[in-house]
A and B are shown apart, each in its own frame.
Chain A
Amino acid sequence: MVRAVWKLAAAAALLTPLVASAHHSFAVFFDPSRNVSVTGKVKAFRFTNPHGLVVLEVTDAQGHVREWRAETNAPAVLVRRGWTRDAIKPGETITIEGWPSRDGKPYIRLSRALRPDGSLVGSAPFGRQDQS
């Protein structure tokens, strides 16, 4: 089931310096004025630099399955937020919230991951100004 929630942020945010990523620019690559949330079954979880990455199989209301990918902060940053290399396991269902890529692909930058009971993966979400 797909659940995409888009939220508009203040237009002024576009004029403000935004989050840095490990290599490509967050501010240029992702749209910080919108949030997206997707729920699906984990297909894979990479725990490598420059970013970790979750591949999620998301089923929409018509039953169509589409792969979404969510890149995370660098693994060392994840570890400092309580993640481990198996914090997310293939086969489990999770919800990922984050900022969508500007190119419109099903590709997002993860701000937090939630388990079905609402508990957070790791010890704290990833904000726009506290990435390390």
Chain B
Amino acid sequence: MRLASMALALAVLPTAALAEPDFTGFWNLSFGAGEADPALMAKLPPDTVVLADTGAAEFPRMVFGGLKLKPEALEHARNWRAEDDMTLQKVCLPPSIVYSVQGPFPFEVDQTRDALIFRYEYYDQIRVIFMDGRGHPGPDYPHTKMGHSIGHWEGDELVVDTTHIAASTITNNGLDHSDQVHMVERYKLSADGTRLEATQWFEDPLVLDNNGARFIEWVKQPGQHISAYECDPSFVLEYNATDAAE
């Protein structure tokens, strides 16, 4: 009887380990995304503006979707020129997760109990989300474009908190965040498991007077895989070799 109980407990363990939703698989941006999930949106903190630049959309110059820029950030955006990014030094610099999480490229998820690995096709970026209960490192820990992410489950939602993100773009039009940006994402699967929905919320007290957020939706595409990106900076030489305007 006792042995039977132990066997039953062991049999139950793997199931318990998989009690959380399984995000494993290839996820491509949903270009026909419907309305943002009201339950996720309701959990966004106050003083947050939801940006309408998710996926393939982008804001034109000096449009920031309701984000309130501090004077220094506004001045930086005003002086920013897209052509300045077309150099060998800059053309292959990856953006931070603040921008790339919502871009029109797919990503793959590998999931274990202690960590989720998000592998983004965009710039070959890889992100580890620690699920083992650790906290963020101290302020002297290196800042990177992917930052340091810790996650936990709240029911069927994955909540990811990210700090230590190196300064980079927010909207790809001259608005940059600082290395003090803080991001919180909430992910959940649709009832049938074919869609992954998320809110991406961020604050940056050095750059913004309010907070920003996006709603993002991906669709699962079984059998697909992400491709290597391997950015080749010599691409920019083609632009530079193009005749000047007539």
Contacts and interface: CB of A to CB of B under 8 A. Distances in A.
Given A79-B227, A129-B56, A25 B173 contact: yes
Contact of B60 (A28, A49, A53, A74): A28
Interface stretch (B109-117, B179-187, B236-244): B236-244
Contacts of B229: 49-50, 74, 76
Contacts, number: 132
A24 B31 contact: no
A104 B235 contact: no
Contacts of B93: 23
Contacts of B57: 16-20, 129
A14 interface: yes
Interface string A79-105: 100000000000000000000001111
Contacts of B92: 23, 50
B87 to A, nearest CB: 11
Contact of A104 (B59, B86, B232, B245): B245
Contact of B59 (A27, A46, A131): A27
Contact of B244 (A74, A79, A105): A105
A115 B64 CA distance: 40
Contacts of A103: 83, 245
Interface in B68-117: 82-83, 85-86, 91-93, 103-106
13 contacts: A18-B58, A18-B59, A19-B58, A20-B56, A23-B85, A25-B172, A25-B173, A46-B238, A48-B232, A49-B230, A49-B232, A55-B238, A69-B242
Interface of A: 14-20, 22-29, 46, 48-51, 53, 55, 66-69, 71, 74-77, 79, 102-107, 128-132
